[in-house]
Amino acid sequence: MSTMNLVLHVWRQPAADKPGKFERYEVKGVSEHQSFLEMLDLLNERLVEQGIEPVAFDSDCREGICGTCGVVIDGRPHGPQRATTTCQLHMRHFKDGDELTIEPWRAKAFPVIRDLVVDRGALDRIIQSGGYISIRAGSAPEANGLPVSKECADLAMDAAACIGCGACVASCPNASAMLFTSAKIGHLNNLPQGEAEAAGRVRSMVIQMEAEGFGHCTNHLECEAACPKQISTDFIAQMNRQLFGSMLGAKKAVTARNTGSK
């Protein structure tokens, strides 16, 4: 088993209201089979042995499905491997002697809590504003009671793959959350169950996204490149079309009310 020695420049920040800076650490004997987070675990074990505060970072499933992990490695959210979360990134993609810079997601809407941990509550509030369906769930319905076309089912499943990690925001020069928001909208609005509330959903989720301080999309497409689930920016185009349609519908209704016409 080959091992490697690395030099890490890790962002250390004790609290949101305290200044942060990069600290240099040497990590020796890293196995190529370790994940990036296991390498950070190793660093932390050694820091604790030396009486130094361990580096705070987020993780949960460590299987690429929960969206909890995520750090910027050498300027790239989730690191150099395409379609891979930080927890699924393995050290075999690095080499002995590498010098790596590790930072938290950088965005105004994601304040740093500590070291590499940021507050992604803004994404939760976008979902709370419309990422649900208001129907009585009851018991499991008859599977064929509501036909869903293959095309719609595939689109909804592609959008539902979003794990809410926030790498799209961290990669965007505008810190835009449009890929995330459009995936959450696309997941529901492409299904018949989500159709009744589709117009209101797109309006309120986009309004919440703007209220949280995320920037606008100017087609850099960095989000799509950084996304570990390869969510397509086609969902942003779909969201924009639905938003335009919904605003047009609302305008027509107001005009009809004002003129007394039907």
Of 94, 110, 180, 214, the one binding ligand SF4 by CB under 6 A: 180
CB of 65 to ligand FES, least distance (A): 6
Q: How far is the CB of 70 from ligand FES (least distance, A)?
A: 7
Using the rule CB under 6 A, give the single segment among 37-45, 87-95, 175-183, 201-209 that binds ligand SF4.
175-183
Q: Is 64 in the site for ligand FES (CB under 6 A)?
A: yes
The single residue among 60, 96, 99, 154 that binds ligand FES, judged by CB under 6 A, is 60
Nearest distance in Å: CB 182, ligand SF4: 8
Instruction: Please give the residues from 115 up to 174 whose contact with ligand SF4 meets the rule CB under 6 A.
Output: 162-168
Calpha distance 98→70 (Å, rounded) = 20
- Per the CB < 8 A criterion, the answer to whether 108 and 213 are in contact is yes
CB 189 within 8 A of CB 195: yes
- Please provide the DSSP assignment of 68-136 as one string: ----EETTEET-SSTT--GGG-BGGGS-TT-EEEEE----TTS-EEETTEE--HHHHHHHHTT-S--S-
Q: Which of 13, 35, 68, 242 binds ligand FES (CB under 6 A)?
A: 68
Q: Is 35 in the site for ligand FES (CB under 6 A)?
A: no
Given ligand SF4, ligand FES, none, residue 126, with its beta carbon under 5 to 8 Å by kind, binds none
* Contact predicate 76/103, CB 8 Å: no
**What pairing do the DSSP bridges indicate for beta strands 3-12 and 99-103?**
parallel
By CB under 6 A, is residue 227 in contact with ligand SF4? yes
Q: Is 110 in the site for ligand SF4 (CB under 6 A)?
A: no
CA 64-65-71 angle, to 5 degrees, is: 50
Residue placing its CB nearer to ligand FES in the complex, 59 or 182: 59
Record the tokens describing residue 173, joined without a space.
């020069």
Q: Which are the contacts of 218, defined by CB distance < 8 A and separation ≥ 6?
A: 173, 174, 176
Which residues of this protein are in contact with ligand SF4, per CB under 6 A?
Answer: 162-168, 179-180, 183, 226-229, 231
Which residues of this protein are in contact with ligand FES, per CB under 6 A?
Answer: 59-62, 64-69, 85, 87, 163
